[in-house]
Amino acid sequence: MLSSSMDMLEESLIKKIDIMSKIEEENERQKEILSDPDNVDETAFDNTVDKKGELIDKLISLDDGFQTLFDRVKEEVNANKDEFADQIRRMQDLIRDITARSASIEAAEHRNKRLAERYFDTARQKMNSSKQSSAVAFNYYRTMNNFKEIPPQFLDKKN
């Protein structure tokens, strides 16, 4: 029972690393998409966000399952540390890898957030510029329409 539980814990950590590497790939795609704020493919950006959301949900599910199983076998593992020393060492290495990947993912998320903010600032500026151009055109149109309705003026040159 304990041996199979330890195998399941180790397998869970390996799956977590696999999912984290997929999240890293999606972060790189986001970086590429957002690198030129004037030419952002919004559909591709939305797809990466959706895909990352699904991967994060899987990650949370794995974490919950790992924690539940670990809580059940924790005391037995502590009592039999020598018997599972090699497997515990492998799992500790996997956890170190997970921690490093987590830090890397967090840094990439911050970088992508800055890129997204830059894109949104650019888009906002374009909208404001377009809005101002429309207002100028409308004012010109209104002025020209009002100009046509001015009755002819008679100038008296007597003084």
159 belongs to a structural domain: no
83-98 tens-digit pLDDT: 989 999 999 999 999 9
- The pLDDT of residue 106: 95
Token digits for 72? 């059940």
- The pLDDT of residue 144: 59
Alpha carbons 13 and 58: distance in angstroms, whole number: 12
116 belongs to a structural domain: yes
* Residue type present at position 130: S
52 belongs to a structural domain: yes
Low pLDDT (below 70) residues in the chain: 130-131, 138, 140-159
Tell me which residue range forms the domain holding 54: 2-148
158 belongs to a structural domain: no
156 belongs to a structural domain: no
- The pLDDT of residue 125: 81
| Predicted structure pTM score | 0.75
SS3 assignment, position 149: coil
Alpha carbons 30 and 12: distance in angstroms, whole number: 27
Alpha carbons 68 and 111: distance in angstroms, whole number: 34
Q: In this structure, how many other beta carbons lie within 10 angstroms of the beta carbon of residue 66? A: 17
